[in-house]
Chain A
Amino acid sequence: MEQKFKRSFNELKNIVTMTESMFQEEGLEPNLRNVVDLATEELFVNMVTYNTESKEDILIQMLPHEHGIEVSLTDYNVERFDPRSAGSVDVGAPLDERTPGGLGLYLVLKMVDSIHYEYRNRQSKITFIVDRE
């Protein structure tokens, strides 16, 4: 299953609809949904927020993977950004020192089972896998 989405947060509800369809059609474990939703949103929002020079839609592809799902997000005409190299977040810092910056990618890296990155011809493709425990 694949679909392109405009570079807008308003597309998040449509991404959720796509994910719902994927889970229903493939009979995927419902307990995986929240992690898939979270990782997909955080990566999509990151592309929309930081890849501001591109006007191209973002492609999302979903495939069944063993007991779970593989999700890819591809952005076009963008600079290289490997989410695996995102700076760490001090989750033990006191309230005064906490900021929300970087938390989204931190959660993605913490919660998905694996994540891969490809960059070719100014196309940035991030693929993550969420599998049943």
Chain B
Amino acid sequence: MFEIEIVDDGIVSVDGRLDAAQAVKAQNFLDQVEGQCVLDMAKLAYVSSAGLGVLLKTHKRLMASGSGIKLINVNNHIHDIFRYSGFDKLFEIVPASD
């Protein structure tokens, strides 16, 4: 299961598992986003390299116009994957509070 939507305050919320089977759905959604994008990962349980590729492509596109993606509520496991992949140096990341 994977869901992506814009919630009330303009934040993009992702929920479930962002794997290779769901990467196209995520990319199609994020291709429509313009300007600064805040991605709430509080409900994201899992991400693979296919999901990282979606985030990288979108971040590059938005950075080209002076904005980018900010990731909030990132859990420990996903934060580990960002660190291993060096993405923690490319994205602004706010870890989950617990």
B84 near A111 with CB under 8 A, answer yes
A92 near B20 with CB under 8 A, answer no
* A96–B60 alpha-carbon span in the complex (Å): 7
A45 near B20 with CB under 8 A, answer yes
* A125–B87 alpha-carbon span in the complex (Å): 30
Q: Give the residue name and chain of the A residue nearest to B49 (CB).
A: A104
Partner of B49, one of A13, A37, A42, A96: A42
Residue interface bits A69-113, CB-to-B below 8 A is 1, else 0 = 000000000000000000001011101101110011011001100
A12 near B20 with CB under 8 A, answer yes
Partner of A91, one of B17, B20, B57, B84: B84
Which residues of B22-67 are within 8 A (CB) of A? 46, 48-50, 52-53, 56-57, 59-60, 63
Residues on B facing A (Cβ under 8 Å): 17, 19-21, 46, 48-50, 52-53, 56-57, 59-60, 63, 77, 81, 84-86, 89-90
Q: List 25 A-B contacts (CB under 8 A).
A: A9-B20, A12-B21, A13-B21, A38-B48, A38-B81, A41-B20, A41-B48, A42-B49, A45-B20, A89-B85, A92-B86, A92-B89, A95-B59, A96-B60, A98-B56, A98-B60, A99-B56, A100-B56, A100-B57, A103-B52, A103-B53, A107-B49, A107-B84, A107-B85, A111-B84
Residues on A facing B (Cβ under 8 Å): 9-10, 12-13, 16, 34, 37-38, 41-42, 45, 89, 91-93, 95-96, 98-100, 103-104, 106-107, 110-111
